[in-house]
Amino acid sequence: MCGIVGVYNFKKESVSESALFDANECLIHRGPDAGNIFIHKNVGLAHRRLSIMDLSENGSQPMSSSDGRYTIVFNGEIYNFIELRKQLVEEFNILFSSESDTEVVLNAFIAWNYDSFRRLNGMFALGIFDQLENKIILARDRFGIKPLYYTNYNNTFVFASEIVGIKSYLGGSFKYNVKEQALVEYAWFGNPLGENTFFENVKEVLPGRTFTLTENGLEITRFWEPSEIKDNLHLPEKDVVKRIRNLMQESVKRHLISDVPVGIFLSGGIDSSVITALSSEFYTGKIKTYSVGFDFDKGINELPKAKMLAERFGTDHHEVYVEAKNLPDVIEKLVDAHGEPFADAADIPLYLLTNQVKKEVKVVLQGDGGDEIFGGYSRYFTLTKEDYFKPWKLLSGLPWQMISNTALLQKVRFLDAITTDNDADRLALLLTMESKRQLPTNIFSHSVNNRLKNLNPFKRYHDLNDEFKNKDLIQRLFNIDLSCILPDTFLEKVDKSTMANGVEIRVPFLDNDLVQFALSIPSSLKVKNGVKKYLLKKAFEDLIPHDILYGPKTGFGVPYSFWIQKSLVDYMKSNINDPKVIASGIFNHQLINDYIEKHQKGKGNYGFLLWKCLILAIWIRKQPSMILDLKL
């Protein structure tokens, strides 16, 4: 796992060595082990290394082919690189000089060109320079596990693992104009969606895409798309269950390959339990597992379950207790880590946990993706019963102002969502904590709202709904979750909060073969009898204790709502009312301060909305004052 930066100047002007070096140094947290740059006339590549595979200098990047024509910078891990290496040796007689997956990726591209990206089973964001044709090829993995941002500014194309690398290279010429679509999406979901970022001139490469940069400009293509997967209607349930078990075993085996110690975040839930059970069987030695308790979990945690599982599977188990002693400091660091407003507060425990374990392990496995491919959310089953809720639409018409009970407000919000006629709007509303009854964009000033009023916050959902229109509604939701909330929220949260501490997170549930098969399973089987993760539970009934598979999930949520009401209220007010934030003209300060007061007195739960305000205010405060231009 690493950090990359690259530059392509369309005017054929030379790349600035000092600017490229500085941009690379901005990513030192992603790769503290080494840093190198490569420059050839109008092209520059830079790499920060977190040594995981082949710890020798032979695995260093930027890495060039034996003839010097191709040079690669690569962030990620390829889990089938051993099989690909063998195939390259047998078919093309390629001689390898390292044991790294980077060299395999480079030679795979030389051998199979763009088709090589479909063959890579893993997580990656990469750039390959072809010196003979003076072009750069970019690619991002099919699920968006690893980030890749880019801008084309004043005939200079810059890409990087984080926005900070782009900002650093462009320096004072970088424009800080806020993208309005990102702002309206943030108000509804807590982060921008799809290719949008908060910067008008910076985009994120969408999953499964390749970019080709030449003197003639930019060409974007797709090497994989989930819509190509057809339902497998003919396999009996027992065969589906057996296939899931086999694919999960193979995935975990692959994800354990490493030249440094590997650990597992063991929560006591189903996904991490399956990963732990299989890892204990396949890992050479005793694998480390980590469970965490926080001083803000109010005693609600899964430490006892995790300990029981660790004993059952014989792991080297550690219980990590994390105290949120200095929350403002952590919040400030995470705003920097994301590079733009990001309001999923679950990044806080991930950051605190990896900060504790980074001295012991560089690689950690965890269960992201299990919910999205096997049906871990209640909304999948809810959509099978949408006709049941239609008669309740009249209740959803109650005036919002008449309802003060938080639980009832949540029920009304749900009824509003499930009884919405438009499919794309319904799916989007099921994915947000906000409601059209009380628009979250009300937090913005009148002038800002005038600019946002004609924007559709659910545009990404409409685009994806159209892309998957040939699938049934529930299958559509599975695909949309995999394409939207997973990369835009959950994988973004994981990458930035953990790489800030130089810890690589691997996600076995997002193995190519496993996801390909899971998406082909008919929705009626995935949500059978209303049991969440029905098929995954069936696949591991003989291995995972019944109480873990079918017992109530404990879990806990990050209590940001409580913090804003109590310990962080002064911090909240100071940021919202900061002179620079006020001068930006972005907020309706009177309304937000009213929400803070009501929230303090328990006269409504404005927790998530206020958390979004806090993160956005901190981000505005941190932008360079002389060049911040909201253009709103």
H helices present in 438-588, as ranges: 446-452, 459-467, 473-483, 485, 492-499, 512-520, 523-526, 534-539, 546-550, 560-565, 569-576, 579-584
**C-alpha of 181 from chain center:** 19
Instruction: Provide the token pair at 397.
Output: 């018409």
Q: Is 8 helix (H, G, I), strand (E, B) or coil?
A: strand
Question: How far apart (Å, rounded) are the C-alpha atoms in residues 179 and 199?
Answer: 5
The rounded Cα 522 to chain-centroid distance in angstroms is 26
3-class SS of residue 509: helix
Closest CA to 136 of 212, 44, 216: 212
C-alpha separations of 354 from 159, 286, 301, 500 in Å: 27, 20, 18, 9
Region class of 591: left (phi > 0), else alpha (psi between -120 and 50), else beta = alpha
The answer to whether residues 274 and 544 touch, using CB atoms and an 8 Å cutoff, is yes
CA 158 to CA 170: how far, in whole Å? 8
| Other CB atoms within 10 Å distance of the CB of residue 86 | 11
> Residue 628 corresponds to which tokens in the numbers above?
């911040």
Cα separation, 422 vs 411, whole angstroms: 20
- Residue 368: DSSP 8-state: T
CB of 48 closer than 8 Å to CB of 3: yes
Active site residues: 2
Residue type, 433: M
Residue 489, C-beta contacts closer than 8 angstroms, at least 6 positions apart: 189, 190, 191, 344
**Contact assessment for residue 563 and residue 608, using Cβ atoms and an 8 Å cutoff:** no
Which tokens go with 2? Answer: 């690493």
Task: Answer whether 522's CB lies under 8 Å from 535's CB.
Answer: no
CB 428 within 8 A of CB 476: no
Of 351, 349, 374, which Cα lies nearest the Cα of 510? Answer: 374
Residues 6+ positions from 53 with CB-CB distance below 8 Å: 59, 77, 81, 99, 100, 101, 102, 257, 258, 259
